[in-house]
Chains A and B, each alone.
Chain A
Amino acid sequence: MSDLPTVPATAAPRRSGGRVRVSGTDRIFLVVMVAIPTILVVLWVWLPAIASVVLSFARWTGVGGLDTIQWIGTENYKNVFTNYPPFAPALRHNLIWLVFLFVLPTLFGMFLAVLLDRELRGTRFYQTALFLPVVLSLALIGFIWQLLYSRDQGLLNAVLHTQIDWYGDSRWNLWAVLVAASWRHAGYIMLLYLAGLKGVDPSLREAAAVDGASQVRTFFSVVFPVMRPINIIILVVTVIESLRAFDIVWVINKGTNGLELIGTLVTANVIGEASRIGFGSALATIMLVISLVFITIFLSTVMRGEQR
């Protein structure tokens, strides 16, 4: 907090050089306003994040005190990659999750936003319908889609005349879950993109129309480049969502039998019977590193916008 504005003893509050001078009590007030939330976020988010990294180099059952921790270097990581069968499928599932979310609902949501941006009558109805799943939790969405996916009474099997247990059969369940998750994701992306499109200066499109550009051409060579910040935000949102995916598979079968994800492995390693703190932390650190790359991209995009 060394950057707090210095206080001239006599000065009345005034602005100089873009800075606001504040009096003693005001200064204390400002410090408290920043300090309390900062302490909370540091203690609850950043300190655990750092501790995860540190613990990933340890062997610890978590039962005894801190002095029972053994430091074993990178052995946990070696074990993750070479000696832990669920890791490869989990990583693969997370990647499939990302590609699927990106190729289907993300692009479809963007496409819908472009369609809805064209002054349709009844646009309110369309938006409401597409946006509805966004307010539901993914855990609940897992429940609702069971009505369509169930082997005996599910609608899907009735329509297809099949007998597939869509959530239970490891050949199908990841795809079934992804469709359900996409139902929510597309609406979310549609909304973010629509808001972005509404913010595009109409004169750009008019200029393109005057030049005789088709609507498709206008979108790709004029609108899309202008939307760069939103495009990046959507990319980051999709990556982070795929990385944190957890709720829907946990509620179905706790992330087993074809639904393994890195997030469920971490959780199972900690709250299960055999809690392997160091090993779980190594998995958590891998997640942390991947997410930090994209968070940095997100922040730099946003901050550049800030400074404009």
Chain B
Amino acid sequence: MTSATTVTRRPATGATTAQARRRLTPGRVVLYVFVTLTALAWLFPVVWALLASFRDYDYTSTHGYVSLGGFTLQNYLNAWKQGDFTRHFLNSLIITVPAVLLTLFLASCVAFVVARYSFRLNLILLGLFTAANLLPQQALLIPLYRAYREIPLPLWMSDSGELLDSYWGLILVNVAFQTGFCTFVLSNYMKTLPHEMYEAARVDGAGVPTQFFRITLPLCRPALAALATLQVTWIYNEFYWATVLMQSGDKFPITSSLNNLRGQFFTDYNLLSAGSIVIALPVLIVFFLLQKQFVAGLTLGSTKG
């Protein structure tokens, strides 16, 4: 702590070059104004929704939104009840948690093999997985939908008796789609791990399972954390598969439950804002707490290292 205070005082004498670069020229003022206005404009829709969500509908419909008064929490209570949010959040949880864990585990397995053993199949495998992540879902819908209707599941796994309209089906399709991206990121990460460690482990007689579970996975913790953050957000936000593969409305995870809320919410805008804020809240919390992880996960995929 003491060193930190001295460091913050030092720039007064030390960093003259950095200060010269940061001197406020007219050009830089324009730059700051432009970037600030853009940032505020970008925040506006969410802030507007936040403000509207605390207003009473009767009050704002008579006085307009540019007014004071009519503040209430009632919209949140109504939105929660009318949207049946308890159930839908639970559904999201049931789908997201296993899907993320399974995705990361399977992707680590493939990435480990791809990164550590130079098979000739290496590139083909990576291509197979990454391309799968980029294909349009709609292009796969028809056969998948038909197959889901044909594949029976025991009733204790799915009360519809088939893969269609079951949590299992939705979890698996999410895993199949997301494994590609994670494999790609993880294999890049694993390639940067020091070779010597594995040499030493092999000399000590460690087999593949030990190398994977004891060495690779613990070392990949930063990449796994970044990917987990990203995947939680993506699978929570996943809309398409849940919309088409779930039949009964009470099984929809929260994002695709929006399909059924439109009619109720689009008539009362304060209710709509409260509902939107509630649905955005989990990802916003993840975003503000783990922004660094989130950004790291995304950029790991596009740039190397």
Contact = CB atoms under 8 A, between A and B. Distances in A.
Nearest to B183: A37
Contacts of B45: 133, 144-145, 147-148, 183
B139 A128 contact: no
B236 to A, nearest CB: 8
A298 B134 contact: yes
Interface string A287-300: 11001101100110
Contacts of B46: 132-133, 144
Interface string B40-51: 101101101100
Interface stretch (B67-75, B218-226, B290-298): B290-298
B299 A147 contact: no
B143 A37 contact: no
A233 B244 CA distance: 29
A244 B275 contact: no
Interface in A1-40: 1, 3-5, 13-15, 18-20, 22-23, 25-26, 29-30, 33-34, 36-38, 40
Contact of B295 (A36, A191, A281): A191
Contact of B117 (A5, A129, A133, A230): A5
B272 A187 contact: no
Contacts of B128: 38, 41-42, 46
A89 interface: no
Nearest to B199: A15
Main secondary structure of the interface of A (DSSP, over half): helix
B87 interface: no
B298 A277 contact: no
B180 A41 contact: yes
Interface in A102-145: 112, 115-116, 118-121, 125-126, 128-133, 135-140, 142-145
A30 B291 contact: no
Contacts of B127: 299, 303
B255 A192 contact: no
B176 A41 contact: yes
B59 interface: no
Contacts of A285: 139
Interface stretch (B4-12, B107-115, B154-162): B107-115
Interface residues of B, number: 107
B21 interface: yes
A130 B208 contact: no
A116 to B, nearest CB: 7
B145 A155 contact: no
Given A125-B39, A303-B127, A306-B123, A49 B140 contact: yes
**Could you tell me the dominant secondary structure of chain B's interface residues?**
helix
B177 A33 contact: no
Given A5-B117, A139-B255, A230-B302, A33 B109 contact: yes
Contacts of B239: 137-139, 246-247, 250-251
A274 B109 CA distance: 42
B141 A284 contact: yes
Given A48-B140, A52-B139, A270-B145, A147 B48 contact: yes
A263 B129 contact: no
B101 to A, nearest CB: 14
A155 B60 CA distance: 12
Contacts of A130: 38-39, 42
B141 A267 contact: yes
Contact of A135 (B65, B144, B173, B287): B287
B275 A143 contact: yes
Interface in B171-190: 172-173, 175-177, 179-180, 183-184
Given A120-B35, A130-B39, A140-B237, 11 more contacts: A38-B110, A120-B32, A121-B22, A133-B45, A135-B233, A138-B239, A140-B255, A144-B45, A144-B276, A153-B60, A251-B258
Interface of B: 21-22, 31-32, 34-36, 38-40, 42-43, 45-46, 48-49, 52, 60-61, 64-65, 106-107, 109-110, 112-113, 116-121, 123, 125-132, 134-147, 172-173, 175-177, 179-180, 183-184, 199, 202, 207-209, 212, 233, 236-240, 243-244, 255-256, 258-259, 261-262, 265-266, 269, 272-273, 275-276, 279-280, 283-284, 286-288, 291, 294-295, 298-299, 302-304
20 contacts: A19-B118, A22-B208, A29-B209, A48-B140, A49-B140, A52-B142, A115-B31, A115-B35, A132-B287, A137-B237, A139-B239, A142-B258, A147-B52, A148-B48, A192-B302, A195-B295, A195-B299, A199-B303, A262-B138, A302-B184
